[in-house]
Every structure is written in structure tokens, then in C-alpha cells.
Structure 1
Amino acid sequence: MARDVQSVFERKETKYRLSADQYRAILDALEGRLAPDAYGSTVVKSAYFDTEQRDMAARSLEKPFYKEKLRVRGYGIVDKDDTVFVEIWRPRRG
């Protein structure tokens, strides 16, 4: 199944760690107001790549201001003819 491919892509993610009580409180607050969309239960699989010497992992552990990772990501159950995305992942600083 081929999909249109966007050549320039910007994603911003902000993640928060929740306690079990906070998680339940959020679910309770959303009950009857919002429902998961079609992507709410989508499987996302990512494979990260590095050199044989693990240079990218070693650099990441140094906590540099700028780092990047090469990954291949697929959404849903990916078959051999499906579209996957090759991304250079860079964490946002701010």
C-alpha cells in the first residue's frame, strides 16, 4: 500500500511523565468528551542505526548540545511493499 510522501517534515513532541493517579485523572476528565482517533491504537515501529563502533550511541551518552540519530519508522503492520520513513532524528533544545 503506497502512501504520499512528504519531503519536509517537522514534528514537535513534548512528553510528560505521569503517575498512575495522574493518568487515571486525565482519563476520567476526558471520558465522554474525547475518543481516540483512527491512529489511537496504531503500532509504531522504529529501528535506529549506528556505526559498527557505536559512534552515535557513544556521542549521545556524552549529552552534547547537538546530536542526531538515524532511524527507519513504519506505522501499522508494515509489509514489504509498504512505505516506511527514513528520518534523521534530532531532539529539540529549548
Structure 2
Amino acid sequence: MLLFRTAALSGLLIAPILLLAGCTPRIYSTRPYPAYARVANSGVNARYVICHKERNALTLPEPAIRAHLRHGDYFGSCSRENRRRHDDHYRGNRGRGDSGR
């Protein structure tokens, strides 16, 4: 579920702030990234596939992942199934053994 909130400062409208209900940035820093999205180790950093802006699948090094997750991207290629898997993983319905950072 996505919630949008608008903040006002001195009468000026500031860009809408996207709040992901149930998916705070803290969740992304405390749970391991899912093994199903991991594609390779590149030297020190693992690489993961994420769906970027619901349009493009990107393969990124681990240090770049958190920023993408915070603005709504999710693990795996762009599909409803991967969106569901991502939501299940980060909202506590894990039981599938697909963690592995």
C-alpha cells in the first residue's frame, strides 16, 4: 500500500513524499537481501537484480541497492511475482528460505 503526503513550508508546496507503509528504510538495513535476486559476486560486493521504476531490470552492486529500495524499486526482474516475493520477504512472510546476503 502506498501513501502520499504533501509537506508545506512557508506556504510553498514541496514535492510529495512517498511513504511505503510497512517498508521503512530500517527494514532494508536489518534484513538480509534475498538469495533469489543475487546473481554474482564481483570481487568484494555481491550483485543483485532489481526492478527499477517498474520498467527496467538492473544488476547492481550491493552498496547501491538500499537507495533503490528506498524509492520503491524491488528485488528481481519486473513482474508481479517478484513484487509479491519482495513484499513477503520484507513484511515478515519469509518462511521460504530465500534469504542470503
More strand by share: 2
Q: Answer 1 or 2: higher relative contact order, Cα 8 Å, separation at least 6.
A: 1
Q: TM-score, normalised by structure 2?
A: 0.22
TM-score, normalising length from structure 1? Answer: 0.23
